[in-house]
Amino acid sequence: MSILDQKSLDPQRAHPATLSERLVSTGAIDAETHRWALDRRRKLSGTLADILLRHGNIDDVVLRDALAALHDLPVRDGSTPSPDAAAIDRLGAAFCARHRIVPLRNAGASVPILCVDPHQFDGLRPYLEAALNAWCQPILDTETRLTEVLMRYAGPPLADRAETRSPAAQSCRHMVAAPVRAMALLAALIAGIAVAPASAIVVGSWMALCVLSVNGALLLFAVVSRLRRPPKLKASPRLARYPVVSILLPLFKEQDIAAILVDRIAKLDYPRELLDICLLIEESDAVTARTLAETELPPWVRVLRVAPGGVQTKPRAMNLALDFCRGAIIGIYDAEDAPAPDQIHRVVHQFARSGPRVAALQGRLAFYNARATWLTRCFFLDYATWFSLILPAIRRLDWAVPLGGTTVFLRRGPLEEVGGWDAHNVTEDADLGLRLTRAGYRTDLLDSTTMEEATASPRAWIKQRSRWQKGYALTWAAHMRSPLLLWRDLGAWRFLGMQVLFLGSLLSAATAPFLWLFWLPVAGISHPFFDGLSGSGVVTVMVVMAGYFMLNAMAQALATCRMGRPGLIAAIPLTQLYFPMATIALVKAIAELAYRPFFWDKTAHGVTAPDDS
């Protein structure tokens, strides 16, 4: 029973006896609004308080005052004691965040507890009094003010928990020596090339051809699989209750995107009272704070200031926010995202028809500025191939799905079970997908598309891609510290898949220059690799190369048509200028691994306008 439906615990209390009746009697809402809210509650599963709050019929101060009057409880004011850091520590800062309570300094024989919901407090009272060894007295406050108080007094322990939430054995946070070893290996390779360049070119060429062949085999499987008729989906069961869905939107130095972001999220047609939209900003981020202060935010959006910590990354912010979320499903969007209006409905229904081992759903991503520059055209082709062909193939192969950083939806239970996100990993999404698979969970693909902004300049693209490559390297190294344990968790087939996806992606960019050198004979320059091959061997290599490039072009054309943008097929030849930039990005990633492995190189948003603007 919700607080809105609770009768007064005191039989002598005067009417009105319910919160809804009190709101009507005080004129906070009228009878028509009351009837509308009751009807909406019958059709959905939210409380009347959430319905009225999220639709702007009342604000949180009105709700707090009505609850206080109904239950004869005090509200927080200037005479209220200050928070008790020791009591917060005893209960656990995360516990306080999840249950929306803050213990205050003793007032005589009792411990005052700042809370939002008197009914929830009554359920917690036995535990609180046992843990604090004192009688507890509730004092009401709004959720916004309570969160600010808790963050102010419990910021350090919350930040520490956010940074160490993922298990150390699968986290990259203690990998101090790994970057040094990587640089030592790189130096040895460079020295080997300098000492025996011809032998190095031959070995590198064979390695490049092997990587090309593996990637080609995966791409061929993806194309063939996509041409088959997809299996029929199970019918979604009729839902008696719709769950609350929390959406995390990490923001950092966003000056122009806030109003556009709210407008795009407002198009989601999931019930407002069941959406928990959390905008996450760093405490030190004055730019975004000022932007949000100047933006009129709707009542269904809340802002959470993230306490400072040892690192400043998106996964750390999400780890901290997780304890403040109300939802059973946790979703992630980026600042520039424009999700399909029915996306959350699709998420809820797909989870409902999936088994409990399906812990995550990954939606498709595409670009709304694909025609902005030659680079955005190529980036669209790249993304279309990944999300329309490669990811479905990975799912069919039953490999671990490397999650993307946005349009990801997670069951809260499994997410908390595996320790949330690795706060130090700059591709926390891909790492989380692997850790969920190791724990026995699955990721499925969501048939829904989110439009976002493609980086439009080579410099921005290289910065973004180098972060992804650095994160892939950290993820691979973190999980390969105990390869036998990883083998046991994943099994031989998925272990192989992990090598193909993570190591293969890095080796593809690393060995690409050896393929570029295959053009030397065309210019009349001798190539040591071809010098050691027979005539038929040279023909075989050329056929493999030509076959891969033809397959890649066909896959891009198929994926582009699948994404509804056949006009971009003409940009396929430009990808021969696009893919070499991955090698440049890898050089930057390797350098950063040595001196700032956890640095988050932010991508700027709002640089180019959508194609249809």
The pLDDT tens digits for 33-68 are 999 998 888 888 778 889 999 999 999 999 999 999
pLDDT at residue 106, rounded to an integer:
84
Closest Cα partner for 309 from 170, 479, 173? Answer: 173
pLDDT at residue 4, rounded to an integer:
35
Mean pLDDT of the chain: 90
Q: Which of 227-231, 378-382, 504-508, 572-576 bottoms out in mean pLDDT, i.e. has the lowest? A: 227-231
Distance (Å, rounded) from C-alpha 408 to C-alpha 393?
A: 18
Class level of CATH domain 85-164: alpha beta
- Give the amino acid at 14: A
Residue 498 vs residues 361, 426, 517: alpha-carbon distances, Å: 19, 18, 29
Would you say residue 195 has pLDDT above 90?
Answer: no
Can you tell me the mean pLDDT for 406-423? 97
Can you tell me the mean pLDDT for 182-196? 77
Residue 555 vs residues 130, 222, 380, 385, 492: alpha-carbon distances, Å: 63, 9, 13, 7, 28
pLDDT higher at 193 or 371: 371
Q: Which of 3-12, 381-390, 482-491 bottoms out in mean pLDDT, i.e. has the lowest? A: 3-12
Would you say residue 9 has pLDDT above 60?
Answer: no
Residue extents of the structural domains in the chain: 19-71, 85-164
Q: pLDDT tens-digit profile of 270-289?
A: 999 999 999 999 999 999 99
Distance (Å, rounded) from C-alpha 375 to C-alpha 454?
A: 9
Q: Which of 554-591 are b and which e, b meaning 16 or more Cβ less than 10 Å from the residue's Cβ? A: ebbbbbbebbebeebbebbeebeebeebbbebbebbbe
Distance (Å, rounded) from C-alpha 496 to C-alpha 561?
A: 31
Residues 6+ apart with CB under 8 A from 297: 262, 279, 303
Can you tell me the mean pLDDT for 162-187? 81
Query: Alpha helix locations (H) across 248-399?
Result: 258-265, 286-293, 314-322, 343-353, 374-385, 391-396
Q: pLDDT tens-digit profile of 487-521?
A: 999 999 999 999 999 999 999 999 999 999 988 88
pTM to 2 decimal places: 0.93
Would you say residue 118 has pLDDT above 80?
Answer: yes
